[in-house]
């Protein structure tokens, strides 16, 4: 993992410096770009393992840059945002960003998120193929659809199974309500989208040790949910 | 249609002279002329007179002709007696023919005149219509209307008063050669105000008295009463049953209005009213445009303040974090204060957006335990070992409500943070969720000192700080938390209330509209 390259696209030199410093001990090389276009060119030339993208760029809207990158790159995109608009965050994730961090952020939080995204990018698909898998004190077999905690078997409804599968295969990634709905129901529209939250609440009651202190399915307020794979 | 000669000779004199000349001529030939010839010649004169000089002259000449035929041309000559019966017939036939012809001619003349005036009115109205629509400034448009009214009604002064929303407009058009007061008097101004308020006609008399129309049974009656010896006439300008201005006509003579002029005045008044209305609408549109622009500006300002402040805060936090590794403990304080500054900026921005009604609220179906879980997760960093106990009914189905998740989370986090801040460190915080009367009640209870009676409502005021003992250094915000919390709750159809806790302490309750889950279960079954 130490030979990874991370690209930072941000017009503020101070932020670039802070981010570079924070990543110095995490990755092999940090590239910096001050504009969206420069960032796209650099990403094209260097093929970084992860891209940190600031939304307040002078030349292009962050969503545009995100879309452009997603056309040919599958590298995780972590967005830095000063705006607290949740719709905007959801839109970014829907257009292909993998995660976002709201300014001001702490260095610890930032590096943790970068690490998680790098790890997930390399390991996510691999992990989901190995069945059954251990998640904390749970034993899950997504193929056989069995879920056990110790000796007791836990019953999940079909929708809850689909939810769990989506979460587990994309662990560490913030999934928007829209993305979850598409994955579980296979449709991009419809009122039942609202009930997604109820299904998540039910699933939590079954798999979390304490449903009001969820450790596996973490709520991203106004955006969606993220599945945290316990270490 | 008058002959040019009428400028020097009155028409009736001219035609009397013609009659005399014709009579004299025929007298010379009296023996060769038949009575019928004489009658025909006179008839021609009468017709000519009525055609050019009007009915009165025509009838007069007809009577004169009747007498002249009898006197000069019917035997016995030079007397008014008649000896033969058929002679009467000629005379009567002459008179009847003359009378009927005169009458017909008069009517035709009147109709032609009316048609001409109507055409003139239409010309002026169309001109005016074009002007009111094309002229940019309000004063110019109203000035054009006042000009046309003054010329048409033939008065010395025409004024239009408009009580505007932004400013009052007064237009005054004075005819040349008229001696008129340089300014409108106080009495007149008072009367203008009265007409504006009541939407009725008024008039000023030469003796200084004024006439105010009673609630009008009929406009014409009001006009008749108003016009008795009026030196100034005030007409309300009404559009959509609203008085938008007052038209004032003034003259040194008594003002007289014949029916066509009244009709014209009514039409013009309406034009003036429409013109004023248009001016008002334009002003309103400009005002709305300005407001929109100000709104955009404010949004842009909020966005840039939020962005520009957070970027340096990020740098400060990150650098403080780096410094902390060198062992300098002050770095932790810097980081803490940066967080506090960020919270205060966020609070101020949020309050200003709430005040402006610019904060969007997304009411969606949400689970209560999701909200409580997210709140506990968010405060978990600041717990320092404090215990937060959550009690939720674990019954099926889960408790749900229609609320904005992000706003509600912010409220709940604020309530929990307050509870942590204002209660002893060794006491737990209790969170309880219930559903009562269609509302979700999420209660945050602590074992702090509680809140005394007088302060119970004031704690929800912006910038109000509860306990003087808690210094701002302890990480308190700007005193906006509860004010924002209550407003955010109200924006979703909920509320935040305070109650004393049994056994001591505070008990804050966030109420949110509850929802039913029947439909959700149906959906689940369909997909099973």
pLDDT in tens, B431-464: 999 998 889 999 999 999 888 887 887 888 877 7
Residue B225: inside a domain, yes or no?
A: yes
Binned at pLDDT 50, 70 and 90, residue B155 comes out as: confident
Q: Say if residue B74's pLDDT is above 60.
A: yes
Domain match, A81 and A163 both:
no
Beta strand pairing call for A5-9 and A29-33: parallel
Q: What tens digit of pLDDT does each residue of B343-400 get?
A: 887 787 777 777 767 778 888 889 999 999 999 998 988 788 888 999 887 777 888 9
Domain match, B93 and B172 both:
no
- Are A224 and A177 in contact by the 8 Å Cβ rule? The answer is yes
Within A35-185, residue ranges assigned H as helices are: 36-46, 62-70, 86-94, 107-129, 158-169, 177-185
Candidates A201, A204, A205, A223, partner chain B, best to mutate (most B CBs within 10 A): A201
- Are B146 and B161 in contact by the 8 Å Cβ rule? The answer is no
Radius of gyration, alpha carbons of chain A: 18
Residue B397: inside a domain, yes or no?
A: yes
Domain match, B436 and B501 both:
yes
Partners of A159 on chain B (C-beta within 8 Å) are: 524, 527-528
Domain match, A82 and A144 both:
no
pLDDT at B295: 73
Residue in chain B nearest A17 by alpha carbon: B315
- Determine whether the interchain pair A201/B398 forms a contact, defined as Cβ–Cβ distance below 8 Å: yes
Domain match, A76 and A98 both:
yes
- Determine whether the interchain pair B317/A104 forms a contact, defined as Cβ–Cβ distance below 8 Å: yes
Which residue from B313, B364, B397 is facing A104, i.e. has the nearest CB?
B313
Domain match, A166 and A106 both:
no
Nearest CA among B21, B3, B25 for reference residue B61: B21
Q: What tens digit of pLDDT does each residue of B51-64 get?
A: 888 788 888 888 88
Q: Say if residue A155's pLDDT is above 90.
A: yes
Which of A123, A142, A160 is the C-terminal boundary of a domain? A123
Torsion B474-B479-B483-B489 (CA) sign: negative
Q: What tens digit of pLDDT does each residue of B6-28 get?
A: 456 788 888 888 888 988 888 88
What residues pair up with B243 in beta bridges, in sequence order?
B238
Which residue from A83, A185, A221 is facing B307, i.e. has the nearest CB?
A83
Per the prediction, chain A carries an average pLDDT of 85
Domain match, A112 and A148 both:
no
Q: Say if residue B342's pLDDT is above 50.
A: yes
The helix or strand, by DSSP H or E, that contains position A217, with its residue range, turns out to be: strand A217-220
- Are B244 and B168 in contact by the 8 Å Cβ rule? The answer is no
pLDDT at B528: 41
CB of A202 within 8 Å of a chain B CB? The answer is yes
- DSSP letter at B72 equals I
The least confident of B3-7, B168-172, B268-272 is B3-7
CB of B325 within 8 Å of a chain A CB? The answer is no
Domain match, A9 and A118 both:
yes
Q: How far is B528 from chain A (nearest CA, A)?
A: 6
Partners of A20 on chain B (C-beta within 8 Å) are: none
Identify which has the larger pLDDT, B256 or B218.
B256
pLDDT at B525: 46
CB pairs under 8 A between A and B: 122
Domain match, B117 and B188 both:
no
Which of B237, B268, B285 is the C-terminal boundary of a domain? B285
- Are B494 and B513 in contact by the 8 Å Cβ rule? The answer is yes
Cα(B303)–Cα(B298) distance, integer angstroms? 8
- Are B162 and B169 in contact by the 8 Å Cβ rule? The answer is yes
Which of B236, B258, B285 is the C-terminal boundary of a domain? B285
- Are A69 and A92 in contact by the 8 Å Cβ rule? The answer is no
Which residue from B307, B365, B372 is facing A194, i.e. has the nearest CB?
B365
Domain match, B209 and B274 both:
yes
Q: What tens digit of pLDDT does each residue of B287-302 get?
A: 888 888 887 777 677 7
Counting Cα atoms < 13 Å in the Cβ hemisphere of A3 gives: 0
Domain match, A41 and A93 both:
yes
Domain match, B113 and B158 both:
no
CATH number of the domain enclosing A49: 3.40.50.2300
CA distances from B339 to B279, B297, B406, B484 (A): 53, 27, 19, 19
Domain match, A158 and A118 both:
no
Could you write out the three-class secondary structure of B463-500? CCCCCCCCCHHHCCCCCCHHHHHHHHHHHCCCEEEEEE
Angle value at C-alpha A15, between A9 and A20, nearest 5 degrees: 75
Instruction: Provide the domain count of chain B.
Output: 3
pLDDT at B1: 42
CATH number of the domain enclosing B486: 3.30.565.10
Q: Say if residue B259's pLDDT is above 60.
A: yes
Note down the domain range covering B215. 135-285
Which residue from B365, B369, B372 is facing A195, i.e. has the nearest CB?
B365
Binned at pLDDT 50, 70 and 90, residue B2 comes out as: very low
Note down the domain range covering A183. 130-227
Angle value at C-alpha A9, between A5 and A15, nearest 5 degrees: 100
Beta strand pairing call for A217-220 and A174-176: unpaired
- Determine whether the interchain pair A157/B528 forms a contact, defined as Cβ–Cβ distance below 8 Å: yes
Query: In which order are the strands placed within the sheet that holds A99-102?
Result: A29-33, A5-9, A50-54, A77-81, A99-102
* CA-CA-CA-CA dihedral for B228, B229, B232, B235, to nearest 10: 10
Q: Across residues B161-188, what is the average pLDDT?
A: 66
| Burial environment of residue B278 by CB neighbours within 10 A (0 to 12, 13 to 18, 19 or more) | middle
| Residue A31, phi then psi, degrees to nearest 5 | -100, 145
Which of A77, A94, A123 is the C-terminal boundary of a domain? A123
Domain match, A118 and A148 both:
no
Interface of B with A in 273-312 (CB under 8 A): 303, 306-307, 310-312
Domain match, B83 and B53 both:
yes
| Burial environment of residue B260 by CB neighbours within 10 A (0 to 12, 13 to 18, 19 or more) | middle
- DSSP letter at A194 equals G
Domain match, B194 and B243 both:
yes
Q: Decide if the complex's ipTM is over 0.85.
A: no
Instruction: Provide the domain count of chain A.
Output: 2
Q: What tens digit of pLDDT does each residue of B461-509 get?
A: 877 765 555 544 444 556 778 888 999 999 999 999 999 999 889 999 9
CA distances from B89 to B67, B70, B97 (A): 14, 12, 12
Counting Cα atoms < 13 Å in the Cβ hemisphere of B257 gives: 29
The helix or strand, by DSSP H or E, that contains position B239, with its residue range, turns out to be: strand B232-239
Q: What tens digit of pLDDT does each residue of B203-221 get?
A: 888 777 788 877 654 566 6
Domain match, A11 and A116 both:
yes
CA distances from B337 to B92, B310, B314, B319 (A): 120, 13, 12, 13
Nearest CA among A16, A18, A61, A9 for reference residue A40: A9
CB of A25 within 8 Å of a chain B CB? The answer is no
Domain match, B388 and B516 both:
yes
pLDDT at A86: 74
Domain match, B252 and B142 both:
yes
Partners of B365 on chain A (C-beta within 8 Å) are: 194-195, 197-198
Torsion B2-B3-B9-B11 (CA) sign: negative
Domain match, A117 and A139 both:
no
Cα(B234)–Cα(B228) distance, integer angstroms? 13
Domain match, A13 and A101 both:
yes
- Determine whether the interchain pair A214/B377 forms a contact, defined as Cβ–Cβ distance below 8 Å: yes
Cα(A195)–Cα(A157) distance, integer angstroms? 14
Percent of chain A whose pLDDT exceeds 70: 90
Nearest CA among B410, B422, B341 for reference residue B386: B422
Q: How far is B437 from chain A (nearest CA, A)?
A: 21
Which of A123, A150, A185 is the C-terminal boundary of a domain? A123
Percent of chain B whose pLDDT exceeds 90: 14
CB of B524 within 8 Å of a chain A CB? The answer is yes
Domain match, B111 and B220 both:
no
Domain match, B43 and B67 both:
yes
Which of B121, B156, B184 is the C-terminal boundary of a domain? B121
CATH number of the domain enclosing A160: 1.10.10.10
- Are B498 and B459 in contact by the 8 Å Cβ rule? The answer is yes
The helix or strand, by DSSP H or E, that contains position A138, with its residue range, turns out to be: strand A138-141
Domain match, B186 and B279 both:
yes
């Amino acid at each position: 993992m130490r030979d990874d390259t991370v690209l930072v696209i941000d017009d503020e030199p101070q932020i670039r410096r802070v981010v570079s410093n924070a990543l110095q001990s995490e990755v092999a090389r940090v590239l910096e770009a001050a504009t969206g276009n420069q960032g796209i060119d650099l990403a094209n030339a260097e093929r970084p393992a992860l891209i940190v993208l600031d939304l307040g760029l002078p030349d292009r809207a962050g969503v545009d840059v995100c879309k452009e990158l997603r056309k040919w790159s599958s590298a995780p995109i972590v967005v830095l945002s000063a705006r607290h608009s949740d719709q905007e965050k959801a839109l970014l994730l829907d257009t292909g960003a993998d995660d976002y961090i709201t300014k001001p952020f702490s260095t610890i939080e930032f590096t943790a998120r970068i690490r998680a995204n790098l790890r997930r990018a390399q390991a996510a698909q691999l992990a989901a193929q190995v069945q059954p898998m251990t998640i904390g004190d749970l034993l899950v077999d997504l193929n056989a659809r069995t879920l056990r905690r110790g000796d007791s078997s836990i019953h999940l409804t079909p929708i809850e199974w689909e939810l769990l599968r989506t979460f587990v295969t994309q662990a560490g990634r913030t999934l928007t309500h829209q993305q979850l709905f598409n994955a579980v129901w296979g449709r991009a529209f419809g009122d039942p989208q609202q009930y997604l939250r109820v299904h998540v609440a039910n699933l939590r009651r079954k798999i979390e040790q304490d449903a009001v202190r969820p450790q596996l399915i973490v709520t991203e307020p106004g955006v969606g949910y993220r599945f945290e794979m316990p270490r | 249609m008058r002959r040019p000669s009428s400028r020097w000779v009155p028409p009736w004199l001219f035609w009397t002279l013609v009659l005399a000349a014709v009579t004299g001529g025929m007298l010379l030939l009296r023996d060769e002329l038949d009575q019928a010839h004489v009658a025909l010649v006179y008839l021609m004169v009468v017709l000519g007179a009525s055609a050019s000089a009007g009915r009165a002259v025509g009838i007069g000449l007809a009577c004169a002709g009747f007498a002249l035929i009898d006197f000069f041309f019917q035997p016995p000559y030079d007397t008014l007696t008649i000896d033969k019966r058929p002679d009467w017939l000629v005379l009567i036939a002459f008179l009847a023919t003359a009378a009927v012809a005169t009458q017909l001619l008069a009517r035709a003349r009147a109709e032609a005149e009316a048609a001409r005036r109507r055409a003139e009115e239409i010309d002026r109205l169309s001109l005016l219509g074009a002007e009111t629509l094309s002229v940019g400034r309000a004063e110019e448009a109203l000035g054009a209307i006042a000009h046309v009214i003054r010329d048409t009604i033939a008065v010395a002064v025409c004024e239009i008063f408009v009580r505007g929303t932004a400013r009052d407009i007064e237009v005054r058009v004075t005819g040349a050669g008229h001696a008129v007061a340089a300014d409108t008097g106080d009495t007149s101004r008072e009367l203008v105000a009265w007409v504006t308020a009541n939407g009725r006609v008024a008039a000023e008399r030469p003796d200084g008295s004024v006439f105010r129309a009673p609630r009008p049974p009929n406009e014409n009656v009001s006009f008749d009463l108003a016009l008795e010896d009026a030196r100034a006439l005030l007409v309300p300008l009404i559009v959509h049953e609203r008085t938008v201005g007052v038209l004032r006509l003034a003259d040194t003579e008594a003002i007289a209005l014949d029916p066509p002029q009244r009709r014209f005045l009514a039409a013009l008044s309406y034009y003036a009213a429409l013109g004023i209305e248009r001016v008002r609408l334009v002003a309103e549109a400009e005002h709305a445009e300005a407001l929109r622009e100000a709104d955009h500006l404010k949004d842009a300002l909020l966005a840039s303040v939020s962005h520009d402040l957070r970027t340096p805060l990020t740098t400060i936090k990150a650098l403080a974090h780096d410094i902390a590794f060198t062992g300098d403990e002050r770095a932790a304080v810097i980081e803490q204060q940066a967080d506090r500054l960020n919270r205060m900026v966020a609070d101020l921005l949020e309050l200003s957006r709430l005040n402006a009604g610019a904060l969007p609220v997304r009411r969606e179906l949400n689970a209560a335990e999701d909200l409580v879980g997210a709140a506990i997760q968010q405060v978990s960093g600041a717990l320092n070992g404090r215990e937060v106990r959550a009690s939720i009914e674990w019954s099926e189905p889960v408790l749900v409500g229609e609320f904005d998740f992000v706003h509600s989370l912010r409220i709940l986090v604020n309530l929990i943070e307050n509870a942590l801040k204002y209660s002893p460190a060794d006491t737990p915080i209790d969170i309880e969720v219930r559903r009562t009367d269609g509302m979700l009640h999420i209660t945050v209870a602590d074992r702090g000192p509680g809140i005394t009676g007088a302060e119970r409502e004031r704690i929800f005021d912006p910038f109000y700080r509860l306990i003087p003992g808690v210094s701002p250094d302890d990480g308190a915000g700007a005193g906006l938390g509860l004010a924002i919390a209550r407003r955010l709750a109200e924006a979703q159809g909920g509320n935040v209330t305070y109650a004393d806790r049994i056994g001591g302490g505070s008990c804050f309750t966030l109420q949110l509209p509850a929802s039913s889950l029947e439909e959700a279960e149906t959906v689940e079954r369909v997909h099973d």
